[in-house]
Amino acid sequence: MTAPTGQRTPSAISENIPARRPSARHAKRFIVAIAAIAALGGALFGYDTGVVSGALPFMESHFGLTSLGEGIITSALLIGAAFGSLAGGRMSDALGRRNSLLWAGAVFIGGALAVALAPTVPFMAVARFVLGLAVGSASVITPLYLSEIAPPHIRGRLVSFNSLMIVSGQLLAYLINAVLAHWEAWRWMLGLAALPAVALFVGLFFLPDTPRWYISKGRPDEAARVLRRTLPAEDVAAELARIEHARSLEADARRGAWRELRTPWVRRLLLVGMGLATVQQITGVNAVIYFAPKILSATGLGTNAAITATIAVGVISVLATAAGMSLIDRVGRRPMLLTGLSGMTVSLALLGASFQLPHATAVSYLVLGLMVLYLAFMQATLNTGVWLLLAEMFPLRVRGLAMGAAVFVMWLVNFGVALTFPLLLDALGAGVTFWLFGAMCVLSLLFCKRYAPETRGLALEDLEDELRKADKARTADKARTAASG
């Protein structure tokens, strides 16, 4: 394929790159710096979703909130995140992964300050919607950025680092909530999110964009420079060629991204991605994260004690996510999903049963222990695995758009769960509500067993070739079956 006018092909560029082998230490430092700065988007995602659990009890008395009002304030951020995820996918394809994160960082700063200063419930809902735009954008762009810049052998751990930062942000929110609860300083709880947002915004000025995005925009020189900082010199040419091969397949087709989504095998992948996004939310994780103090208060625990107890939820989420990061590239994506959903089903069944016991301090801590057990399975397996699969499984031409669409579905389901959970608690009680989530885990297990792909150990471009070949084989099998019938 002829290179664009004024541009050199990746192979020509690699021949002119000095043969000096980059220091492994420098490459590691570069990758760690990228992960630390970019994943601040994940930390903000976690903080802004987790902090509301501690602020809600005090906003309830300040604004006179009903259960519906609690659901609206909680879910306003989530509906904003749904639309932000769509915008983030398209924006990351047009402007680049790094520049799109810069825009998200600016909105994080403004949104956090607006939420902290909100004088009324409608203002608070609008401000949380705006903040949600940044959360949703970051939820798409951060794992996309990390998956495209990471060498294949550590891609799983690096992308999963974003999941670790999400739960670390939630833990930070729980710790700050516990400290500030003594003064009922819920505005400070919400406003402190502006500090890591500033760090993200400033840090991004020092990062490059991804090689895959540079290649997609006909800028192979810049792609080669980034690859030289993450790979051994002898691997740069092959990686450039692999990226260019995937790009040329799509460019030769001369179809836009929306039209590409109508290709049967790509459409099938998108539906699977949307299904995985639904699975991650319909199984109840964010109901526990957003409403942990409310759940514990339902067992008779006091408000401040319930807020403090949720620190255990944050700690186990961080530890479990770290464990999942260490296993995901060794065990594989599918086995992790299936194991996690099995453990979550059992945990939710026991959690629902525990609410049939009479109120007592021991029962409160039993409920807390079962919530922690459920989250351990969820964060180590399903949360880590789904985010990683969504960042890996789509072809380059539509990766930003398709991941944005899948995460849009994720946030819509998250919105529905957050809006209805307080109402379900009032109408059905906590026990039946958690049994419903357990039933969703069973259905999700069946879905993942049938449809979830395995992406372990494959470069993104090799994975795309494998998926194309699998689709051709499936089409040929159908044709043979029809002919024989």
Q: What is the mean pLDDT of residues 180-195?
A: 94
Q: Cα(162)–Cα(384) distance, rounded to whole angstroms?
A: 9
CA 393 to chain centre: 14
Q: Cα(465)–Cα(456) distance, rounded to whole angstroms?
A: 14
pLDDT at residue 185, as a whole number: 95
Q: Cα(411)–Cα(281) distance, rounded to whole angstroms?
A: 8
Residue 475 pLDDT > 70, yes or no?
Answer: no
* Nearest alpha-carbon partner for 407 in 146, 104, 133: 133
* Nearest alpha-carbon partner for 110 in 83, 128, 95, 97: 128
Q: Cα(167)–Cα(160) distance, rounded to whole angstroms?
A: 11
Is pTM, for the whole model, over 0.85? no
pLDDT at residue 15, as a whole number: 44
Cα separation of the two ends of the chain: 42
- b/e per residue 9-24 (b: at least 16 CB within 10 A): bbeebbeebeeeebee
Residue 9 pLDDT > 60, yes or no?
Answer: no
In the chain, pLDDT over 70 holds for what percent of residues? 86
Residue 107 pLDDT > 70, yes or no?
Answer: yes
Residue 342 pLDDT > 80, yes or no?
Answer: yes
Contact 214, 222 (CB under 8 A): yes
Mean pLDDT over all residues of the chain?
A: 85
* Nearest alpha-carbon partner for 165 in 45, 79, 70: 45
Contact 146, 98 (CB under 8 A): no
Residue at 76: amino acid letter: A
pLDDT at residue 116, as a whole number: 96
Q: Indicate the SS3 state at residue 117.
A: coil
The dihedral built from the CA positions of residue 360, 366, 370 and 373, taken in this order, carries a sign that is: positive
Residue 97 in tokens: 């992964």
Q: Considering only residues 362 and 188, tell me which one the structure prediction assigns the higher pLDDT.
A: 188
- b/e per residue 307-345 (b: at least 16 CB within 10 A): bbbbebbbbbbbbbbbebbebbbebbbbebbbbbbebbb
Least trusted range by pLDDT, from 248-257, 297-306, 441-450: 248-257
Residue at 53: amino acid letter: S
Query: Which residues, 6 or more positions from 360, have their beta carbon under 8 angstroms from its beta carbon?
Result: 300
Least trusted range by pLDDT, from 57-66, 383-392, 397-406: 397-406
Q: Cα(321)–Cα(161) distance, rounded to whole angstroms?
A: 8
Residue 402 pLDDT > 90, yes or no?
Answer: no
pLDDT at residue 249, as a whole number: 60
| 132-177 pLDDT tens trace | 999 989 888 888 898 888 877 777 777 778 878 888 999 999 999 9
